[in-house]
Every structure is written in C-alpha cells, then in structure tokens.
C-alpha cells in the first residue's frame, strides 16, 4: 500500500513537472564567463557552458543563469574539453597508479592504460581498475599475454590472434595494442604487435629501442613496419626514435616522410622521454607531437611531474600556441584512439567532461628527463574538473558557497 502511494506520487510529480522543466531549461551546472577553447567546434572566445544530465547542452555567450542549479564563475580561466591522455599506467607493475587520483587533479577525464594488461589478465584489470574508476579509461592491450605484469621480452607469449580476439571481445574498452620495453633484438615483437593490430583493425602504440645492438632502426620502423594510424610514443627521447640527425640536428627526412604517410607521434613524457635538446630542435623545425601525453606512473609523477598541465606548459614554453596545445591534448588523442567526437569536444550533446585551466604568468622552471632546467614565462594549472557533469576536482573551491552565506545551513557535506 505504502509503495503504491509513493509510485502514484512520483508519477503525478513527473506529469506535473515535465513540461515546466523542459520550458525552463533547468541546468545542473553553468560555468559562466570563462574563455572557452573548443578546437573541434572552432570556439576560442568567452562563452558560458551549460550542463544537464551529465551532458553539454549549450555553449553560448551570456546564457541566462536564472534556472541553473549550480553556477560557477570561471571568469579569467580557460574552459576546455576534459584532457585526453593516451599514455598512462594503471595496472600491471609496481609504478601503476589508480586513474582518478592522478587524472582529475590534472584536468584529465579520459586516460588510456598503455599496455598494463594482456589478453591473459584483461578481466582481472577490468575488475580491479575499470569497474572502480570514475575517469573514462580505455586500454592499449599489451602484445604480451600477461602484459606489464609478465615478461615483456617474452616473444613466445606474444600471440597476435589471442590479443586480437580479446580486443574484438571488448571493443568499447580496448582501443589498440601496445608493444614496449622489449629488451631483445630483431623485429619479431614489432611484427607480432602490428599483426594483432591488423587482425583487430586497431592502432598499435610502440616504444621500441633503436640502439645499434637491437638491429632495429627508426627509418625501417616508421617507413616500413608501422601503418598509418600507428603511434610511436616517447617522441622527444633519443633512444626509441631518432628524430634528429645527430651531426646536423636537422629533423630526419624519414621522420617527415613517416608523418606524411600517417604515422603518429606521441609525447609520452614519462620519467625519461622529454629531453630539451631533442624537443627544442624538433619544435624549432616545426615538428610537434601529434598528441601530448604523460606516461604517468609512480616514478614520472615524482621525478619529472609529467602530468598533463606540466607537459602542456613545456610545449607552451617551446612555442606551441595555447589553442594548439588544447587541440593536441583533446582532439588529436581522441582521434588517435578512434573516439572522436564522442570524446575531446564540448559539442552539444556530448558527455560533460570539462577542464578549467588557469594560465599563470611569471617565471617558472621546468626540468627535463636529464635533470636540466629551463625557465618559462607561463604555467598552466588545472583548477576544476568536471566528469560526466559532476565536479570531481575543485582546487580553489570555486564551486563552493561561502560558509556563512545566506542559505548555507552550516551542515557538513557527507
């Protein structure tokens, strides 16, 4: 009886409430007065952003605030799509970090685990990480059956068919294949990863040493082995990709040729893969990374602080314009993992994944993986992160009411 009354009441309320709510366009959240940079929609201007039911409903100048449940003044700040980091580590080795606590403070709402699990332990990873994370987490599955928890030199455990079958079984979660940390010589590990990518029609992301004893070289790798859409990570390293001619410091002709044929290059900053001499000279010759990513793990977050805002700030220092760093932290990574435009834009109807950034002016020092320091005049900082319409990080309490404001009831949050 009690249940019946409650249901009837709910139905009545729904019937009474629906037309009025639709007319009033009630927003759950309204970010007002921020400078929106949404490259996918060619917006680079002061705009308000309205959110309802976890989705972006409107991006426009001066949206009436009257009916919004929560209004956050973000004047003087940049409002961009939630950052998309295609190289992070959440599973499979000692340095793995749980996604939410590192991603959200950085303004990252979508992360890709780069090779944590393989086809043998994907379900364990799914249980321990994917089911618990609030961040959107995709996966480059390792070409080794046991992933980073196994032996990444183990060619015998690189089974392209089994890897591809796992991708085809979880097409919403797995976006491609990772082959990395291979200590042996020859091309077998690369070939098997690319075969898994071919069988599953997904991109392969490589980290692959090219030092003389390996019998591998960058030219063969980027011109003959990798397919258009495949990704080379650790771009400004000099161990995995030889971007520059070491005598002339010119970008190698084969790097231009590789980019022309559609091979992609990912920053993959990490603890060892951002070197000023490489990055500076490549940028001076207009050879930027296609995607800015962190290679975040316990070591890199402490040593090089390679989160997204820090990695982005270094690209600003090297002359990449703000709009371009946003593009290469949202649109291009989403495209690289074939999730654009579902991810990487503030387009109306998309999931409300948003980062609010502050661009500080001053003198700031940034260091590379060799421990060399360089001064810059701008530093980007994430101050507010929205994931699927929910505020999940608020550095400066900008979304909070004053404790003694009228209407504050003094009760603590649960």
List residues binding Zn ion (CB under 5 A). 114, 295
H-helix segments, 221-307: 253-260, 276-284, 298-303
| CB-CB contact of 36 with 45 (8 Å) | yes
Residue (38 or 368) nearer to Zn ion, CB: 368
Query: Measured from the CB of residue 204, what is the shortest distance to Zn ion in angstroms?
Result: 14
Query: Measured from the CB of residue 19, what is the shortest distance to Zn ion in angstroms?
Result: 52
Residue (266 or 295) nearer to Zn ion, CB: 295
Residue (37 or 148) nearer to Zn ion, CB: 148
Residue (81 or 268) nearer to Zn ion, CB: 268
Residue (82 or 115) nearer to Zn ion, CB: 115
Query: Measured from the CB of residue 326, what is the shortest distance to Zn ion in angstroms?
Result: 23
Q: Does residue 146 come out as left (phi exceeding 0), alpha (psi in the -120 to 50 range) or beta?
A: alpha
Query: Measured from the CB of residue 270, what is the shortest distance to Zn ion in angstroms?
Result: 6
Residue 52 three-state SS = strand
User: Distance between the two ends of the chain, CA-based, in angstroms?
Assistant: 32
Query: Measured from the CB of residue 268, what is the shortest distance to Zn ion in angstroms?
Result: 6
Compute the distance between CA of residue 409 and CA of residue 274 in angstroms, rounded to an integer: 50
Number of neighbours of residue 372 by Cβ within 10 angstroms: 11
Side-chain half-sphere CA neighbours of 45 within 13 A = 8
Chain position carrying tokens 């600003």: 316
> Which residue's CB comes closest to Zn ion?
295
Query: Measured from the CB of residue 234, what is the shortest distance to Zn ion in angstroms?
Result: 8
Tokens of 186: 């020859």
Query: Measured from the CB of residue 148, what is the shortest distance to Zn ion in angstroms?
Result: 9
Residue (32 or 121) nearer to Zn ion, CB: 121
Compute the distance between CA of residue 186 and CA of residue 215 in angstroms, rounded to an integer: 5
**Cis check: omega of the bond before 341, within 30 degrees of 0:** yes
Provide the CA 254 distance to its chain's centre, in angstroms: 28
Among the listed residues 195, 241, 248, the one whose alpha carbon sits nearest the alpha carbon of residue 214: 241
Residue (114 or 135) nearer to Zn ion, CB: 114
- Sign of the four-CA dihedral 160, 165, 166, 171: positive
Query: Measured from the CB of residue 193, what is the shortest distance to Zn ion in angstroms?
Result: 14
Residue (56 or 114) nearer to Zn ion, CB: 114
Compute the distance between CA of residue 159 and CA of residue 118 in angstroms, rounded to an integer: 10
């Amino acid at each position: 009886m009690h249940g019946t009354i409650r249901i009837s009441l709910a139905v009545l309320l729904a019937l009474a409430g629906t037309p009025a709510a639709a007319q009033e366009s009630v927003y759950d959240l309204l970010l007002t007065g921020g400078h929106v940079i949404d490259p996918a929609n060619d917006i680079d201007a002061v705009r308000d952003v309205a959110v309802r039911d976890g989705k972006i409903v409107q991006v426009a100048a001066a949206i009436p605030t009257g009916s919004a449940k929560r209004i956050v003044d973000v004047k003087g700040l940049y409002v961009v799509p939630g950052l998309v980091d295609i190289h992070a580590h959440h599973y499979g080795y000692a340095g793995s970090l749980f996604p939410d606590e590192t991603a959200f403070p950085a303004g990252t709402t979508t992360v890709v685990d780069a090779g944590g699990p393989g086809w043998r332990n994907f379900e364990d990873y799914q249980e321990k990480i994917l089911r618990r994370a609030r961040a959107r987490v995709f996966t480059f599955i390792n070409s080794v059956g046991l992933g980073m928890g196994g032996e990444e030199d183990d060619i015998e455990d690189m089974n392209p068919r089994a890897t591809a079958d796992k991708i085809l079984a979880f097409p919403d979660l797995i976006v491609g294949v990772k082959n990395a940390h291979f200590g042996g010589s020859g091309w077998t590990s690369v070939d098997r990863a690319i075969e898994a990518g071919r069988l599953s029609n997904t991109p392969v992301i490589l980290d692959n040493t090219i030092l003389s004893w390996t019998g591998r070289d960058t030219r063969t790798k980027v011109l003959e082995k990798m397919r258009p859409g495949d990704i080379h990570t650790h771009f400004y390293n000099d161990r995995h990709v030889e971007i520059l001619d070491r005598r002339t410091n010119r970008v190698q002709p084969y790097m231009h040729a590789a980019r022309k044929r559609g091979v992609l290059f990912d920053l993959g900053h990490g603890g060892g893969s951002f070197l000023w001499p490489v990055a500076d000279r490549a940028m001076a010759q207009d050879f930027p990374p296609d995607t800015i990513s962190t290679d975040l793990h316990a070591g890199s977050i402490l040593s090089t602080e390679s989160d997204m805002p820090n990695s982005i700030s270094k690209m600003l220092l090297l002359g990449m314009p703000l709009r371009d760093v946003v593009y290469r932290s949202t649109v291009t990574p989403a495209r690289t993992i074939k999730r654009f435009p579902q991810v990487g834009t503030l387009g109306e109807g998309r999931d409300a994944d948003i980062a609010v950034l502050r661009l500080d002016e001053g003198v700031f020092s940034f260091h590379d993986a060799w421990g060399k320091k360089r001064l810059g005049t701008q530093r980007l900082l994430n101050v507010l992160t929205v994931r699927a319409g929910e505020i999940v990080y608020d550095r400066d309490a900008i979304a909070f009411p004053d404790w003694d404001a009228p209407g504050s009831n003094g009760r603590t949050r649960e």
